[in-house]
Structure 1
Amino acid sequence: MYLNKGKANTNTITMSKQALRVLNNHHSTTIIFNSLNTTTLSLPQTRQIHAQIIRIGLHLNSHFTTKLLSLYANHLQFTQSNNLIKSIQHPDVFTFSTLIHAYSKLNHFTQTIYFFSQMISHGLVPDTRVIPSVVKSCTGLYDLKRGKQVHGFCLTSGLFQDSFVQSSFIHLYVKCGQLSYARKVFDEMSEQDVVSCSALVSGYARDGCVKEVKLVFGRMIEIGVEPNLVSWNGMVAGFNQSGLCLEAVMVFREMHLSGFKPDGTTVSSVLPAVGDLEDVMVGVQIHGYVYKQGFGSDKCVVSALIDMYGKCSCVGMMSLVFEEMPDRDVGACNALVSGFARNGLTDDALEAFNRLRNQELELNVVSWTSIIACCSQHGKDIEALDLFREMQVSGVKPNAVTIPCLLPACGNIAALMHGKAAHGFSLRTGISDNVYVGSALIDMYANCGRINLARLCFDRMPIRNIVCWNAIMGGYAMHGNAKEVIEIFHLMAKSDQKPDFITFTSLLSACSHSGFTEQGEQFFNKMSKDYGIKPRIEHYACLVTLLSRAGKLKEAFSTIENMPFEPDACVWGALLSSCRVHNNIKLAEMAANKLFELEPNNPGNYVLLSNIYANKGLWKEVDRVRDLMKSMGMKKNPGCSWIEIKNKVHMLLAGDASHPQMSEVLEKLDNMSMEMKKFGCLPVTSFVLQDVEDQEKEHILCGHSEKLAVVLGLLNTPQGSTLQVIKNLRICGDCHDFIKFISKFEQRQIFVRDTNRFHHFKDGLCSCGDYW
């Protein structure tokens, strides 16, 4: 009896343990179930729950594993998700759908497409809720090929009939620029809703298809689909992006008249178009609307206002909007700096930029690139180089836009070492293959006299556009290498790249520098006859230069008289410059009088006429022109030259004695002049355009800036090294002869770039053949 009682007690204890285990498992399951339904679990907590699921044997339960998959996806644990799904013996559609939705929502498009492929490989057919997430991923990756494959799958599986699926494909084709496919899907839709209509309208607007926009918009009204704010904003933003500024403003106006209230997105989309149109009255009206609707705190709207006023040259209003901004951000600062730069107010742009830096505002790559471009475009090249160094010190990494903005500054002052450093940076960062970086490098090396390096950059470019071809042709033209320019033009034709008006400007310029008169005239005629490019004013200026430099002044004047439009200062200036070469006073006076009408405040025209009179010894006429300049408050631009020595750019002004080595330079210059006389090379005093004694004329010639720069280079560089000088005016004949002598006497190769072209001096000869 006692034994049976003991056995019963043992069974009771055993049963209690089993019941307890079941109870505990049930309690754990409940806790796990409740935990998995929250979205705030950290990654360590998720892993702990995963371990508990395995411990109590719930890892085969698809409900729990699917929840785990979603949590791992939210924590971007791609490997863990992949391993987990592999451990499931029979994953279903819901299992994969969970991952696809999660990764699509987080914009991890590659993973989304990967799990969709896994789903198909398991023989599972997705439902209509999965496809839009997959198509969204193809859209985000601009993967048109895979998107078309998904489209084909949907057609064969019958999933394409769903309106959400159809709408997702419209977005895909619009985003990938395949508007014909988007329109075909749109036309096949059983129910064309506002989402699909808005997407198609926006796509057509971005592509500049005004007619198609009107057709689809009319279709919306016809089928009773009322446009919403997204529809209107898509059209305004699209037309603005495609450069159809007037259409963008007209849509904005129509939107307002239709009773739709534009929001901050609408306003910030239309203001750039208003700025491009320079319609400040419309801009002021929109500005008033901004304040009425309380958009003054919207940073995007305020930045767009600043940008608009800058484009409309309303610098005062631009500054006022910025100063009234309660919470300034980097976008508004960039718009302010760009506005000053656009209006040529470089000093104001620099001041604003430095003030913002001192306020410890975190400026970005756009801020630095804008100010570097501003300085580079407006003659502050040394400041641009300094800013580029400061940019890197501040920890902001230059990009493929910064480098093309900096390189012109290197080229402008022949800062070759700085240009090479920028080239090295572009190689290290992998942006040298960018066509705009490559074009800027070609231009920089050509401007620095290294046309061979420019050609090397061109030959190594994997992809070339018209900008690249024009850059190398322009470089060769600047160096007077007409044969190479023509050769590049023929290579361009073989590569099926169509020339543009800039191409022919380079061709005609090169022919004029090299005296290729017949070839130049042929290219001028071919431009319109063979390529359908109507000659512009710059082409006529090149043709006038081509003819007049060859001594055909009558033909040049006849060309001006028969131009299809009114000749501008460039055309008359080309004739006046050639009159100086050929001493034709009658035509010179006619051209100068035209220039005085067109550019009354340009001292260069008065100086050029004065020089022509001085060459003929007509000193009374010289005095008359100079008195006229004086009465108008004009001064002759001083000659200025730059030379780079040991990574430092030196600027020398004609007659300026402020350089610390000037006494050594003048002493060396005197010695060189004496050596020249020993060899029978006398100063060409006719280039001194003042009525003074010959001895004084020789003294004046010694002060020319290009001579000072060359001698400074001789003093500070190793024997045999190349010198590079940039001058802001045309090199005079005496300096040309002096540098030819130096190149032979000192055994140096010397590059000089003046306003007309490059001169390569070597062994007493110049590449221009004394024709410039």
Structure 2
Amino acid sequence: MVSKPSTSLPSHLGLKFLKIYTHSGDLDSARRLFDKITHPDLRLWTILISAYTNRGFPRKSIELYTQLRKRSIEPDKLLLLTVAKACAALSDVAKAKEIHEHAIKFGFGSDLMLCNAFIDMYGKCRYCQGARTVFNDMPAKDVISWTSMSACYVNNGSLREALEIVRKMCLSGSRPNSMTLSSVLPACSGMKDLNSGREIHAFAVRNGMGENLFVSSGLINLYANCLSFRQAQVIFENMPRKDTVSWNVILSMYVSNGQCEKALQLFHQIRGEGVELNVASWNSIIGGCMQNGLTERALDLFAQMQEFGFKPNYITVASILPACHDLERLRGGREIHGFCFKHCIVEDVLVGTALVLMYAKCGDLENSERVFERLPRKDTVAWNTMILANSIHGNGEEALSLFRKMMNSGVKPNSVTFTAVLSGCSHSHLVKEAKFIFDSIRRDHMVEPDSDHYSCMVDVLSRAGHLNEAYDFIRQMPIEPTAGAWGALLAACRVYKNVNLARIAAKQLFEIEPDNPGNYVLLSNIYVTAKLWNDASEIRKLMRDRGITKMPGCSWVQVNDKVYTFVAGDKKNVQSEEIYEFLQHTSEKMRNAGYSPNTDFVLQDVDQEEKVEVLCSHSEKLAVAFGILNLKGRSLIRVFKNLRICGDCHSAIKFMSKIVGVEIIVRDSLRFHHFREGSCSCKDFW
């Protein structure tokens, strides 16, 4: 064990101990020793500064260098090299410029090694102009100079310039090496420049670099990105040695091409061959399963990942959380939240935003808000998600309040922000506010309104009953009206019983999306309500002729971690008899409290008594009744429906919430309804 000097030391003795401490990684002891040296010379400064840089403490390196300059000590080439490396690690462009100026001041401005380091430094600071200035002023350039300049352009997105610099390199007589090729191949890949990539491939083969690990990985990525999957596969199979990067590239190729099953086969092959997977491999295959709708498989892989000793990171969590955007998997989402909390990644903005959305889509707005408030940093996506969460839950005022807080915090809104806040206005009858925000999109924020913004404004006007104004707005739109705009108008025509505008809107929708059954059903329902039986019959015939079938409505509720699904008139549930008895018994109490069945929502041509029976058997009523019968001390029920909630069911569930004394949350195809004490969060405006 090395004894630690306790008094001030001359430089020659301090040098010996300082080397021992820095080589062993004991930087705290090294710093204490350094501070006890009366007049440390340049060599001692360089040893300690280099140790901080190489051990991953670049900020301390910069601080020490600043102290050195305050003492008017002149740096040498070695010290400037290590400080340049620290600036690159910190991406500190201001300090990088200062170090470059010092190099020129002290006579090192033309040194080849330093100039190469400065090109790399400026590249990592995302300052291409500085790198180019150094490069152009160099009296002589070697392969490292050209390669560093190429890498600088690639890292900063100047892909064409990266390719051009390598071409100039060849014309100058310098011969690219494997690092040059691997640095420029991402430029070809990013531009999908297959021809240039093939030229580089041919050069690599001619010059004995075709089997280089880094070049091969770059070529696989190039061909995969240019959709030359067979060529990518051939290179991969012929690689004498495969690292995790090459495995990940080929794995990602299958995932991005939608070949999830093939990707899974490869993934299991990787594991079978004993290849060391890093977390990126797991992330790639989990993300691929999610993109291809294999949510159950993704959740299984997430569990396996942890069983095999891999720790999911923030990318893993953000990828898997969308699998929990449903009532059935809310418990799984909560478990992932617990994992995030335990492993201290819950405050990551990407993870936090994914959790906000997960809770919101599962009907748990309180937890959604709680996660959002605890985020130490909120970017545009985080604000957008919280605004959207409140919009879909019918909290238009809160969505507007969040929008104003976002503005005040200095975060710049984007197109999605305005879609989210306008959607909140449409669900909460905030017409005046919506008009002001819509007018401000271009005027105050320099964002060009898109089809979603126009559709939202049509929805705002239509839901508020301003149907003629909404129709005029559509006709005056500077862009082609979308199905969203016409669909909003058609939906409002049913609420406000405007048959003429319904015909106009439906005609447009039949042309824009001729296979969407919802438009036909909605128009037919409007005709039935208006007792235009022949017109309704014509629409149903048109559906049959076009082979279009109505999507059956279903609702589901979770009880004791199991999800139960119901369709209209369902009697398959083991408690079906109890469910119908409960509804009949509750119906009497509801009528006494003022409820009157709205038979306009029964489209069959049957007598009034049968219509009431049909209403009683709607899927959302059955699901709510089943949830109430199985409360077991709970005070909250969550029901999801695949279509819009029926108007009569909406009214009935309001009465149920008051009579039974529970909160009932129903999510339909458009939004959430929170029923409490006989009222709904939508204020009967949906």
Could you say which residue in structure 1 is the equivalent of 2:6?
Answer: none
In structure 2, distance between residues paired with 1:241 and 1:161: 24
Could you say which residue in structure 2 is the equivalent of 1:76?
Answer: 25
Letter matched to residue 676 of structure 1: S
Distance 1:615 1:316, change over 3 A: farther
In structure 2, distance between residues paired with 1:119 and 1:229: 30
The alignment status of 1:231 with 2:146, answered yes or no, reads yes
Q: Which residue of the other structure, out of 664, 668, 671, is the alignment partner of 2:582?
A: 671
The alignment status of 1:452 with 2:401, answered yes or no, reads no
Deviation at 1:176, TM superposition (A): 3.6
The alignment status of 1:650 with 2:599, answered yes or no, reads no
In structure 2, distance between residues paired with 1:253 and 1:155: 29
In structure 2, distance between residues paired with 1:253 and 1:380: 45
In structure 2, distance between residues paired with 1:103 and 1:619: 83
Distance 1:125 1:557, change over 3 A: closer
In structure 2, distance between residues paired with 1:679 and 1:241: 67
In structure 1, distance between residues paired with 2:429 and 2:96: 58
Deviation at 1:535, TM superposition (A): 0.8
Letter matched to residue 82 of structure 2: S
The alignment status of 1:560 with 2:474, answered yes or no, reads yes
In structure 2, distance between residues paired with 1:717 and 1:650: 14
Deviation at 1:137, TM superposition (A): 3.3
Could you say which residue in structure 2 is the equivalent of 1:750?
Answer: 664
In structure 2, distance between residues paired with 1:697 and 1:355: 60
In structure 2, distance between residues paired with 1:142 and 1:244: 18
In structure 1, distance between residues paired with 2:201 and 2:75: 50
Provide the secondary structure at the position in 1 that maps to 2:417. helix
In structure 2, distance between residues paired with 1:139 and 1:710: 60
Deviation at 1:584, TM superposition (A): 3.7
Letter matched to residue 769 of structure 1: K
Could you say which residue in structure 2 is the equivalent of 1:396?
Answer: 310
Provide the secondary structure at the position in 2 that maps to 1:506. helix
Letter matched to residue 245 of structure 2: G
Deviations, residues 74-100 of structure 1 (Å, cap 9, x unaligned): 443546767887999997655665666
Provide the secondary structure at the position in 1 that maps to 2:325. helix
Distance 1:102 1:269, change over 3 A: closer
Provide the secondary structure at the position in 2 that maps to 1:751. strand
Q: Which residue of the other structure, out of 353, 356, 363, is the alignment partner of 2:277?
A: 363
In structure 2, distance between residues paired with 1:397 and 1:736: 45
The alignment status of 1:470 with 2:384, answered yes or no, reads yes
Distance 1:132 1:600, change over 3 A: same
Could you say which residue in structure 2 is the equivalent of 1:727?
Answer: 641
Matches within 5 A, 1:589-738: 589-616=503-530, 625-626=539-540, 629=543, 634-646=548-560, 648=561, 650=563, 652=565, 654=567, 662-665=573-576, 667-680=578-591, 681=595, 683-690=597-604, 704-738=618-652
Q: Which residue of the other structure, out of 539, 545, 551, is the alignment partner of 2:453?
A: 539
Provide the secondary structure at the position in 2 that maps to 1:505. helix
Comparing 626-635 with 483-492, greater Cα deviation is found at 626-635
Task: Verify the 8 A CA contact 1:415 1:649 in the aligned structure 2.
Answer: no
The alignment status of 1:133 with 2:82, answered yes or no, reads yes
Task: Verify the 8 A CA contact 2:384 2:417 in the aligned structure 1.
Answer: yes
Q: Which residue of the other structure, out of 558, 569, 578, is the alignment partner of 2:492?
A: 578
Distance 1:342 1:627, change over 3 A: farther
Task: Verify the 8 A CA contact 1:229 1:260 in the aligned structure 2.
Answer: no
Deviation at 1:399, TM superposition (A): 1.8
Task: Verify the 8 A CA contact 1:139 1:171 in the aligned structure 2.
Answer: yes
Could you say which residue in structure 2 is the equivalent of 1:7?
Answer: none
Matches within 5 A, 1:111-510: 127-142=76-91, 158=106, 163=111, 172=121, 174-177=123-126, 183=130, 200-201=131-132, 219=136, 225=140, 228=143, 230-231=145-146, 234-235=149-150, 237-243=151-157, 265=179, 297-301=211-215, 303-304=217-218, 307=221, 311=225, 328-343=242-257, 349-350=263-264, 353=267, 356-357=270-271, 360-377=274-291, 379-413=293-327, 415-510=329-424
Could you say which residue in structure 2 is the equivalent of 1:186?
Answer: none
Task: Verify the 8 A CA contact 1:665 1:711 in the aligned structure 2.
Answer: no
In structure 1, distance between residues paired with 2:248 and 2:508: 42
Matches within 5 A, 1:92-103: 93-94=42-43, 97=46
In structure 1, distance between residues paired with 2:104 and 2:207: 47
In structure 1, distance between residues paired with 2:153 and 2:299: 37
Task: Verify the 8 A CA contact 1:233 1:265 in the aligned structure 2.
Answer: no
Could you say which residue in structure 2 is the equivalent of 1:25?
Answer: none
In structure 1, distance between residues paired with 2:102 and 2:524: 80
Comparing 289-298 with 601-610, greater Cα deviation is found at 289-298
Letter matched to residue 663 of structure 1: V
Task: Verify the 8 A CA contact 2:123 2:152 in the aligned structure 1.
Answer: no
Task: Verify the 8 A CA contact 2:120 2:149 in the aligned structure 1.
Answer: no
Comparing 695-704 with 553-562, greater Cα deviation is found at 695-704
Letter matched to residue 378 of structure 2: R
Deviations, residues 59-85 of structure 1 (Å, cap 9, x unaligned): 99959x967865664443546767887
Could you say which residue in structure 2 is the equivalent of 1:31?
Answer: none
TM-score, structure 2 length as denominator? 0.81
Letter matched to residue 574 of structure 2: S
Deviations, residues 551-597 of structure 1 (Å, cap 9, x unaligned): 33332232222222222333333333333333444443443443344
Provide the secondary structure at the position in 2 that maps to 1:545. helix
Provide the secondary structure at the position in 2 that maps to 1:750. strand
Provide the secondary structure at the position in 2 that maps to 1:650. strand
Deviations, residues 303-329 of structure 1 (Å, cap 9, x unaligned): 555555665566677667666666554
Comparing 113-122 with 715-724, greater Cα deviation is found at 113-122
Letter matched to residue 86 of structure 2: S
Comparing 412-421 with 524-533, greater Cα deviation is found at 412-421
Deviation at 1:466, TM superposition (A): 1.8
Deviation at 1:144, TM superposition (A): 6.8
Deviation at 1:513, TM superposition (A): 0.9
In the alignment, structure 1 segments of 5+ residues that lack a partner are 1-46, 52-58, 184-199, 202-214
Distance 1:403 1:676, change over 3 A: same
Distance 1:384 1:131, change over 3 A: same
RMSD of aligned residue pairs (Cα, Å): 4.6
Could you say which residue in structure 2 is the equivalent of 1:28?
Answer: none
Provide the secondary structure at the position in 2 that maps to 1:679. helix
Task: Verify the 8 A CA contact 1:619 1:691 in the aligned structure 2.
Answer: no
Higher normalized contact order (CA 8 Å, seq sep 6+, divided by chain length): 2
Task: Verify the 8 A CA contact 2:186 2:218 in the aligned structure 1.
Answer: yes
Deviation at 1:536, TM superposition (A): 0.8
In the alignment, structure 2 segments of 5+ residues that lack a partner are 4-8
Provide the secondary structure at the position in 1 that maps to 2:644. coil
Task: Verify the 8 A CA contact 2:84 2:117 in the aligned structure 1.
Answer: yes
In structure 1, distance between residues paired with 2:533 and 2:171: 70
Task: Verify the 8 A CA contact 1:311 1:342 in the aligned structure 2.
Answer: no
Comparing 268-277 with 143-152, greater Cα deviation is found at 143-152
In structure 1, distance between residues paired with 2:434 and 2:641: 27
Comparing 373-382 with 140-149, greater Cα deviation is found at 140-149
In structure 1, distance between residues paired with 2:172 and 2:566: 64
Deviation at 1:541, TM superposition (A): 0.8
In structure 1, distance between residues paired with 2:54 and 2:95: 19
Letter matched to residue 759 of structure 1: H
Deviations, residues 34-76 of structure 1 (Å, cap 9, x unaligned): xxxxxxxxxxxxx8xx99xxxxxxx99959x967865664443
Identity %: 38
Distance 1:279 1:616, change over 3 A: farther
Task: Verify the 8 A CA contact 2:568 2:617 in the aligned structure 1.
Answer: yes
